[in-house]
Structure 1
Amino acid sequence: MPLEIERKFLVTSGAWREGADACSIRQGYLCLGVDTTVRIRIAGAEAFITVKSKTEGLSRAEFEYSIPLGDAEMMLETLCARPLIEKTRYTAEHAGKVWTIDVFAGENDGLVVAEVELNGPDEIVSLPDWVGEEVTYDPRYRNSALVNAPLGNGS
């Protein structure tokens, strides 16, 4: 079973920006259940459907599949809960790990969150100086929660 193991942090500065790659993302949720979420995502010119289980500690099951871009656009416009999540995802390397930094727009404008994927829940990670408070266990910072309770500057 595919497993996602990650830690999540608020970002405290823009020091990560130098040399970071960027990709625009739009995503919405078909299912916002307590135990399961189903997400539609357009990242650049690619589209995906992703099913995630309930998070247990740092881990959860994650199943992701490519879908036709036109289908994803139609589902985002007609089937997904509002508001859609809009963000630019950057990738930056620190101490041998790839970090993703999400700079949110729309209803979550102003929110900037960094994530690092782990090989196991006990893996020790060197934290870059541009991350602050860890929000891994705070459900308010899950993308699925940002639909019903945005955390942007206007919230």
Structure 2
Amino acid sequence: MATEIERKFLLASDDWRSLAHKATRIAQGYLNTDPARTVRVRIKGSQGFLTIKGKNEGIARAEFEYEVPLADAEAMLALCPNVLDKTRHLVEFGGFLWEIDEFHGDNAGLIVAEIELPAVDTTFAKPEWLGNEVSGDARYYNSALSNHPYTQWS
């Protein structure tokens, strides 16, 4: 079983932009948003993916991701009630790869940085552009943002 160990942060500044070396547009939707098991469809560039994630146990959870034909991903994405639109920027810092998601559409204005770790207790250097941690805040889960977009928060 694959395990995802991930921490998520807001950004304190735009200083990360000068360090970003790749940007990819992503469309993703959810066939199931039950917190115990989410099923995500994603088109990343010209590739399609189907991902099943288990319930969060702190910052870890089971994750299974499979590449699927682009046409299949497009058809499955059409079944999703709300599709997220974001650009993923990659930044290397302190020996880790940071994925910075800049959301568009109904989630415009939200930018989050994520780091995947090899173990729950892994320490890492925090860049100056990193803001508050929101790893345990369910509002920032992509599955939650698909149902309750950032622009609708009060």
User: Per-residue CA shift, 1:98-148, capped at 9, x if unaligned?
Assistant: 000000001000000000011100011111111111000100000000011
Residue 145 of structure 2 aligns to which amino acid in structure 1?
L
RMSD: 1.0
The number of equivalent residue pairs is 152
Contact kept? 2:31, 2:39, Cα under 8 Å = yes
> In the TM superposition, what are the counterparts of 1:4-153 in structure 2 within 5 Å?
4-20=4-20, 21-77=22-78, 79-82=79-82, 84-152=83-151
How many Å separate the matches in 2 of 1:81 and 1:9? Answer: 27
- For the residue of structure 1 that corresponds to 2:74, the secondary structure is helix
Residue 117 of structure 1 aligns to which amino acid in structure 2?
E
Q: CA deviation at 1:34?
A: 2.2
| Runs of 5+ consecutive residues of structure 2 not aligned to the other structure | none
Q: Compute the TM-score of the two structures, normalised by the length of structure 2.
A: 0.95
How many Å separate the matches in 1 of 2:14 and 2:103? Answer: 14
- For the residue of structure 1 that corresponds to 2:149, the secondary structure is coil
- For the residue of structure 1 that corresponds to 2:75, the secondary structure is helix
How many Å separate the matches in 1 of 2:27 and 2:41? Answer: 8
Q: CA deviation at 1:19?
A: 4.0
User: Per-residue CA shift, 1:69-122, capped at 9, x if unaligned?
Assistant: 011111112x1122x110000000111110000000010000000000111000
Residue 15 of structure 2 aligns to which amino acid in structure 1?
A
How many Å separate the matches in 2 of 1:5 and 1:30? Answer: 22
Give the 4+ runs in structure 1 shifted more than 3 A.
Answer: none
How many Å separate the matches in 2 of 1:136 and 1:60? Answer: 12
| Runs of 5+ consecutive residues of structure 1 not aligned to the other structure | none
Residue 59 of structure 2 aligns to which amino acid in structure 1?
L
- For the residue of structure 1 that corresponds to 2:66, the secondary structure is strand
Q: Compute the TM-score of the two structures, normalised by the length of structure 1.
A: 0.95
Contact kept? 2:19, 2:92, Cα under 8 Å = no
Percent identity reads: 51
